[in-house]
Amino acid sequence: MVFWLNIPLANAFMPIQGTDTAGRVDGLYTFLLISSLISFIILIGGMTVFVIKYKRKTDTDKTAYITHNTFLEFLWSFIPFVIMMVIFFWGKSIYEDLRTMPEDGEEIHVVASQWAWQFKYRNGIKQFSKQGVNKENLTGDIEKQIMAVPLNKPVKLIITSTDVIHSFFVPGFRNKQDAVPGRYTTLWFQATQLGDFQVFCTEYCGLDHSNMPATIRVMTPENYQKWLADNKPSESEGAGMSAMAQNGMEIYESKCRSCHSIDGSRVVGPTWKGLFGNQREFEAGAAVPADENYIRESILNPNAKIVKGYPAAMPPYQGQLSDEEIDNIIEYMKTLK
């Protein structure tokens, strides 16, 4: 069940709603404010009335004996319970929507560092926040300081950090996700308004924490495709494969081919064909989906989870592959359906 509450007055105190989810979050927030205000008035107002009405006026006044009322006692417990359940399921509905990643979304890699954001696209484009442009010794071109996304299309962000914990927060979209070193987190949105939206880091990350704003620019689908084509590095895409996947294929050919097949055949290690997104069963008996975090762990510490039916023969690649190379390998795996 989806509840909706959209009061124009609330919009004056909140950032512009850049997604449908933002409207739902504002609806829940408005309900919490109104229900809290009503509860406050009933509780404090009632207490004030009783304090005045039953104030002892003389030393001989006696407190009246009042018996309990079972029906009233039930109501003042049951009504708050119902309100709390409404809030719980309303919030649960929004949370599940925020955490259910789209299967056909535009994927962008977000890498946080002290004190900048980097945005990596599948076709090889790399964008930076303002601090990142300076850090990479790039030009001050404002077009290099944005994350471009299409209007009315799901966008999935795959987020990580190179140093400390950061937090990617877009007030206009009402969503936030920590960037954690050594692992991937995900966040998604579908922008419904054209224009620029501010990104903040909301996890204190050191001296220049306040200098980590970035900009998300929402474009029409036509302008977005033009932007991708205009900013694509030369020879970054070919044979229907993204630049990141192409780089991953080259790493596979040089480092992984002798132990892993891409056609489903069995060799020393599990095949990569159809691996990404499917359940992996282990010798220890557990099972997890082969997502970005599982693949990263399997590359850097392959003995952490031994796939059922295969020997623990893979050496760890910790220190031998960069984070960017691991990202490229994962993108290549996604193409091997």
Give me the pLDDT at residue 15, please: 85
Whether residue 119 is found in the same domain as residue 224: yes
Cβ-based neighbours of 181, under 8 Å, separated by 6 or more = 160, 161, 162, 163, 164, 165
Look up the CATH number of the domain holding residue 144.
2.60.40.420
Residue 76 structural domain:
8-53+68-99
Question: Left if phi > 0, otherwise alpha if psi is -120 to 50, otherwise beta: which for 226?
Answer: alpha
What does the pLDDT read at residue 5? 47
In this predicted structure, what is the pLDDT of residue 78?
A: 94
> Do both 82 and 125 map to the same domain?
no
Rounded CA-CA distance 169/157 in Å is: 12
Residue ranges of the chain whose pLDDT lies below 50: 1-9, 137, 140
60, part of any domain? no
User: Does the residue 59 lie in any domain?
Assistant: no
Q: Are 121 and 163 members of one domain?
A: yes
What's the mean per-residue pLDDT of the chain?
87
Please tell me whether residues 110 and 222 are part of one structural domain: yes
Instruction: Indicate whether 122 and 193 sit together in one domain.
Output: yes
Q: The pTM is what? A: 0.82
Tell me: do 224 and 120 sit in the same domain.
Answer: yes
38 in a structural domain? yes
114 shares a domain with 89 = no
pLDDT of residue 68: 83
- If asked whether residues 151 and 224 sit together in one domain, one would say yes
**Are 87 and 119 members of one domain?**
no
| Domain count along the chain | 3
pLDDT for res 217: 95
Q: Are 272 and 198 contained in the same domain?
A: no
